[in-house]
């Protein structure tokens, strides 16, 4: 089995999901081939829950990695990343391949841009910054 897929499936077993019981694992492969895992970490204040994808990417950034080749998300039914995770993946990784895998081993692969077809990114921020820098004339 592909080591990135195996890492995501293994990370799923470490999920802290006492409320939803929905365990998710993720693994990101860096440009140099390092694989870094993450799992969802739930909080009783649901809005503070951290998704597996963001845990994996945060751990990779913490270890000094800046460039990524792929990401895998493993869940019971091959769920797609939430909107926040799609945005963070785009911001940190660009249009990288993402593989979704369920507990039976069924896989679906695509580019993150397929899941986030009109991303908000630094191109949008420069427009906002320009507006704040040069207020409209009255």
* Residues in a beta bridge with 77: 102
Residues linked to residue 30 through DSSP beta bridges, in sequence order: 68
Alpha carbon 55 to its chain centroid, in Å, reads 8
Active-site residues: which are they?
A: 53
* Cα atoms in the 13 Å half-sphere on the side-chain side of 85: 25
């Amino acid at each position: 089995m592909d080591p990135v897929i195996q890492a995501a499936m293994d990370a799923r077993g470490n999920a802290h999901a006492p409320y939803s019981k929905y365990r998710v694992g993720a693994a990101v492969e860096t440009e140099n081939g390092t694989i870094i895992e993450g799992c969802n970490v739930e909080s009783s204040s649901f809005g503070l829950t951290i998704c597996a994808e963001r845990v994996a990417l945060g751990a990779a950034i913490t270890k000094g990695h800046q460039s990524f080749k792929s990401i895998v998300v493993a869940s019971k039914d091959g769920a797609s990343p939430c909107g926040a995770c799609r945005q963070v993946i785009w911001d940190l990784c660009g249009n990288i391949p993402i593989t979704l895998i369920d507990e039976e081993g069924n896989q679906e692969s695509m580019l993150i841009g397929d899941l986030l077809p009109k991303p908000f990114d630094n191109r949008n921020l420069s427009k906002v910054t320009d507006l704040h820098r040069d207020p409209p004339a009255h």
